[in-house]
Structure 1
Amino acid sequence: MNRTILAAVAALSFAPPVLAQDKPPEQAAKIDDYQPLSASRQFTGVFGGQRVAYTATIEEQILKDDKGHPKAAIVTTSYVANPRDPARPVTFLFNGGPGSASLWLQMGAFGPKRVAIPSDARDDGAPPYPILDNPDALLDVTDLVFIDPVGTGFSKVIGETDPKDYWGVTKDARSVALVIRQWLSANGRWNSPKFLGGESYGTTRSAAVVRELEGSYNDVALNGVILISTVLDFGAGAETEGAELGYITTLPSMAVTALYHGKASSVSPEAFAEEARQFAIGPYAAFLLKGQRAGAEERAAVRRELARFTGLSEDYLDRADLRVTSGRFYKELLRDRGLTVGRLDSRYTGRDYDNAGETPDNDPSFYGIDGGYTAAANAYFRETIGFSPERQYVTIGGVRDWDWRLEGGRDTNAYLNVTPFLGKALRENSGMRIFVGQGWYDFATPFFAAEYALTRTGIPQDRIVYSYYDSGHMMYVRDQDRSKLSADVRAFIRGR
């Protein structure tokens, strides 16, 4: 290879990376001239027994850097009653993941249209899936804005922006808070009553967004936060060697699941859940904290009660050292029937490739609903409202390499817990309240773990409302619980 070629190769090898601001002027201008997409339609529906005329708008909210260059397009879907009334509450909602779009809450619970899937924990099968009017939507009491963070739904980065700039607890919260501020400004709603709500990781996001909205003097004060299937304290449910708290917080979920499937007996899920709570924080917690110092008599007594609550044999519990992870429970509870139970909703059952494994092949409570929601969301957004960009709608899973770090130092990041953000907001905003909705049969975000997180020191208890449902993580897939959830949240908003 001659010197000229070597020099050319070296120049290529050590060339600095091309950044967005280094782009040719015509390409940079093209990015700066990015025109946000939007679609809007007028509708009328009956919600909460009231006829409401409303405007449905899907639009890209553009986030820019400090030099004014577009960085990301975050898509919001808003439903605003006509005529527009700044005195009406507005509620901002999102799902979780991280990496999930808002179609679940939007087309399952609170939006004006919903997808009809089986209500009794059966698989949703194949299309067509009915898209129905949703009388349980909240438009009679609040305007609604559903937010899809970067990498979910139709939301995306622009140009050479790295999506990881938005993928993290704090980074994500800042982008969502900015979208909320922009929407309030564009729609003249700064003095409206405001509610924030999320499901699953969306509850984590809610706490982080509360800090971004209320953590400075440039506040967006909130009237309420709606937590559905709550996960705030990640240490409370961590299943890792040496961590004992997760066994305590998941035991009541195991108990009600065993009861549902006929492996335990009690008068009701509520009664059995309370009995399991008391055993979990009493004799079981004491036993776990003693570790290998626990005596044989105590071990036998705990094993006997643990078998009664979980529906698992004492022999199996002994082999598991009286510490059964959730994955093992899904596989073991109904092994004698050749079935597994779901993680998101343990009412669902599945059948694995064989019956010999330790954990399930998949979650029947997720593959039992995903087809219906995906088809319905695409059909509704693209065909009914007319928002149909040339990119795929990402329901869940489009986000990778999430940055779980919080600002606050080593100890903060060793124990990931965003509950203190809510505690601080409650202490400093006397008008803010919290609604907590939990399904009995939810292992993704167990109800006892949510209760544990929200009863720690520094969190005012008199402004937290709890509601429980006879279903799982997405309680609204059960018709009766969708109506109950709607009524509970409606009462919460009216109670401001």
Structure 2
Amino acid sequence: MSVVLSGVFSGVLPGGSLPARAADSSVPAHQTEGDSATDMAREIPARHESSGSVTVGGKRIDYRAVAGTLIVHPEGWDDSASVLAARTGVKPDAKPDAKSDDGNPDATAAMFYVAYFRKDAKAEDRPITFVYNGGPGSATVWLHMGAFGPRRIVTMNDSHDPAAPYQLINNDSSLLDVSDLVFIDAPGTGFGRITGKDKKKSFWGVDADGRAFANFITQFLAVYGRYNSPKYLFGESYGTLRSAVVVNDLQTDDNIDFNGVILLSQILSYDNNADEPRMNPGNDQPYVLALPTYAATAWYHHRLPAHTGALRPFLAEVEKFASTDYLLALQEGSDLSAERRKAIADRLHDYTGLPVDYILRADLRIDGGEFEKTLQGDTDTTTGRLDTRFSGPTLDPMSESAEYDPQSSAISSAYVSAFNDYSRKVLGFGQGQSYLAGINADWETKHSVPGMGKSDGAPNVIPDLAYAMKTNPTLKVMLNAGFFDLATPYYEGIYEMKHVPVPEKLRKNIEFAQYESGHMVYANEAALKQLHDNVAAFIRRSSGPAPAVR
């Protein structure tokens, strides 16, 4: 799930962390080097194990569940002193909120995770998938409780859920039939915490977040002996941007190749964001890429003046118009003739249901928030952002743009309440602690582009994905998207993926799938089943046995 943030949006051990402890409810707290993380460490047990089963496709799967934390450090951490301390029992001196005498940065993160391991499978032959949401600043409660965990929350298809009690059911679409799963909460979210001097700067940013996740994954592979398993990343929303950074970091810096990267509701370049493109005049691409989603939404809410046929053929027509006549008209700017301008406005009316005079006053450029407010504005109804199938009462009928997201309001209580209950009663983790589903992170958007140096503009990690695909030409990439997503419009993801600068022979490694759902594709039960089947097939195809040694 994505959250709006600053108009953009709203996962012996290396790295100086701790060895795994006995898995029971009496596990002692972490013992960490230095005083700055001591209070945090005392409150967070290392891990707790439990067992369960899930039925997928009519077959029962018994699994072992582990809920726990791993300690990660910022880039530049030298684990020499920590290894020495572990072997000799001598700990280096350290001062709170400062660099310790060993020269390491003081900031520390305890990242929370829940892992599920199938019991009847040989670990090294079993794929493992690292799963996370985005935000940035979101925990992974959404994918865990809504998509692939062994239990799934039941929510309404396109309307607000009643208040508690909520229902958790067996998840027939859990990916445990094809892969072990590790749901990772971003630093500072879930039951994890960050501490130390410059803690936010050390973990909340494109590069810092990517390195933290890469560090977590390398530790996890070591703790659980999974270095030789087929490996996958599954990121949603900002998590797709994170995946491009993480897979490149892991393959380039840590020499760990991945089998596949699975992207859900993609945004790799913030310049394509439909939320506030007026802040970047001269870049008309966001309007072009959002138009097919406007059309799908108008189709869903019966706001189209003429079209009543099937959705997908209609969208193919809109995509062609968006990338040809509409794009060319926007590029003409002030040179566009009045006659041509009126003709384009008429076509936009046909495809969106918005009034022609409104389209003309908007200079043919309607952003996401304006569309959400206006489409059903005649009934004081606001259309959803994350999932435009959802609607809700308009907060301020005089506002220019939508002031909230009806889908987020509709389902958030169910997801967060269900996970808080499930974690404590089933996983045995979280007693006396607060679960942070999201944080309002002050995100550092500067990014070190592979081979190009530091970029100070809006983050664009398309080069990271290209670099990862070139240095590992066996890497497979899968893009999944919902037609009713205005946070990361589906056509934006297609456009970005078709502009990944890789040789033509590597384009066969990229595949696409779209669904009649929104940003959280899995919020639609039929789409969830399709998502499971597509992702499971992708993992099976790309995790086959290694070639025989001759």
- Give TM-score scaled by structure 1 length: 0.90
Offset, 1:319: 1.0
1:248 aligns with 2:284: no
Which residue number corresponds to residue 19 of structure 1? none
Post-superposition CA distance 1:152-184 (Å, at most 9, x none): 111112455623310001000101001100010
Offset, 1:208: 0.9
Which residue number corresponds to residue 3 of structure 1? none
Instruction: Give me the whole-angstrom Cα distance separating, in 2, the residues matched to 1:314 and 1:95.
Output: 38
Offset, 1:411: 7.9
Q: In the alignment, is the contact (CA less than 8 A) between 2:107 and 2:202 conserved in 1?
A: no
1:467 aligns with 2:500: no
Which residue number corresponds to residue 489 of structure 2? 446
Q: 1:190 to 1:344 in 2, by over 3 A?
A: same
Offset, 1:404: 0.6
Task: Provide the aligned length of Structure 1 versus Structure 2.
Answer: 469
Which residue number corresponds to residue 227 of structure 1? 263
Q: How does 1:161-240 map to 2 (within 5 A)?
A: 162-216=199-253, 218-237=254-273, 239-240=277-278
Q: CA RMSD in A?
A: 2.0
1:476 aligns with 2:507: no
Instruction: Give me the whole-angstrom Cα distance separating, in 2, the residues matched to 1:164 and 1:155.
Output: 17
Q: In the alignment, is the contact (CA less than 8 A) between 1:63 and 1:70 conserved in 2?
A: no
Post-superposition CA distance 1:243-264 (Å, at most 9, x none): 2111111111101111111112
Of 404-413 and 70-79, more deviation after overlay is shown by 404-413
Post-superposition CA distance 1:101-134 (Å, at most 9, x none): 1110011000101111112x01012001011111
Q: In the alignment, is the contact (CA less than 8 A) between 2:447 and 2:454 conserved in 1?
A: no
Instruction: Give me the whole-angstrom Cα distance separating, in 2, the residues matched to 1:167 and 1:107.
Output: 24
1:105 aligns with 2:176: no
Which residue number corresponds to residue 113 of structure 2? 76
1:435 aligns with 2:478: yes
| 2:367 alignment partner, one of 316, 325, 328 | 325
Q: In the alignment, is the contact (CA less than 8 A) between 1:244 and 1:289 conserved in 2?
A: yes
1:140 aligns with 2:140: no
Instruction: Give me the whole-angstrom Cα distance separating, in 1, the residues matched to 2:311 and 2:71.
Output: 47
Offset, 1:360: 2.2
User: What amino acid maps onto 2:423 in structure 1?
Assistant: F
Which residue number corresponds to residue 123 of structure 1? 160
1:275 aligns with 2:340: no
Instruction: Give me the whole-angstrom Cα distance separating, in 1, the residues matched to 2:262 and 2:466.
Output: 14
Q: In the alignment, is the contact (CA less than 8 A) between 2:51 and 2:65 conserved in 1?
A: yes
Identity %: 36
Offset, 1:415: 4.6
Instruction: Give me the whole-angstrom Cα distance separating, in 2, the residues matched to 1:333 and 1:99.
Output: 30
Offset, 1:494: 0.7
User: What amino acid maps onto 2:538 in structure 1?
Assistant: F
Instruction: Give me the whole-angstrom Cα distance separating, in 2, the residues matched to 1:346 and 1:28.
Output: 45
User: What amino acid maps onto 1:494 in structure 2?
Assistant: R
Q: 1:393 to 1:303 in 2, by over 3 A?
A: same
Which residue number corresponds to residue 379 of structure 1? 421
Which residue number corresponds to residue 436 of structure 2? 394
Q: In the alignment, is the contact (CA less than 8 A) between 2:54 and 2:150 conserved in 1?
A: yes
Of 476-485 and 419-428, more deviation after overlay is shown by 419-428
User: What amino acid maps onto 2:402 in structure 1?
Assistant: P
Q: 1:457 to 1:199 in 2, by over 3 A?
A: closer
Offset, 1:354: 4.5
Offset, 1:237: 2.4
Instruction: Give me the whole-angstrom Cα distance separating, in 1, the residues matched to 2:346 and 2:377.
Output: 20
1:307 aligns with 2:345: no
Which residue number corresponds to residue 501 of structure 2? 458
Offset, 1:336: 2.0
Instruction: Give me the whole-angstrom Cα distance separating, in 2, the residues matched to 1:314 and 1:87.
Output: 59
Instruction: Give me the whole-angstrom Cα distance separating, in 2, the residues matched to 1:370 and 1:31.
Output: 30
Q: In the alignment, is the contact (CA less than 8 A) between 2:113 and 2:185 conserved in 1?
A: yes
Instruction: Give me the whole-angstrom Cα distance separating, in 2, the residues matched to 1:275 and 1:415.
Output: 31
Unaligned runs of 5+ in 2: 1-32, 83-105, 543-550
Instruction: Give me the whole-angstrom Cα distance separating, in 2, the residues matched to 1:415 and 1:30.
Output: 37
Q: In the alignment, is the contact (CA less than 8 A) between 1:125 and 1:371 conserved in 2?
A: no
User: What amino acid maps onto 1:95 in structure 2?
Assistant: N
Offset, 1:224: 0.5
Q: 1:175 to 1:29 in 2, by over 3 A?
A: closer
Instruction: Give me the whole-angstrom Cα distance separating, in 2, the residues matched to 1:400 and 1:335.
Output: 32
Post-superposition CA distance 1:280-312 (Å, at most 9, x none): 111111111110011122112111111111111
Which residue number corresponds to residue 545 of structure 2? none
1:289 aligns with 2:331: yes
User: What amino acid maps onto 2:302 in structure 1?
Assistant: G
| 1:261 alignment partner, one of 296, 301, 304 | 301
User: What amino acid maps onto 1:130 in structure 2?
Assistant: Q
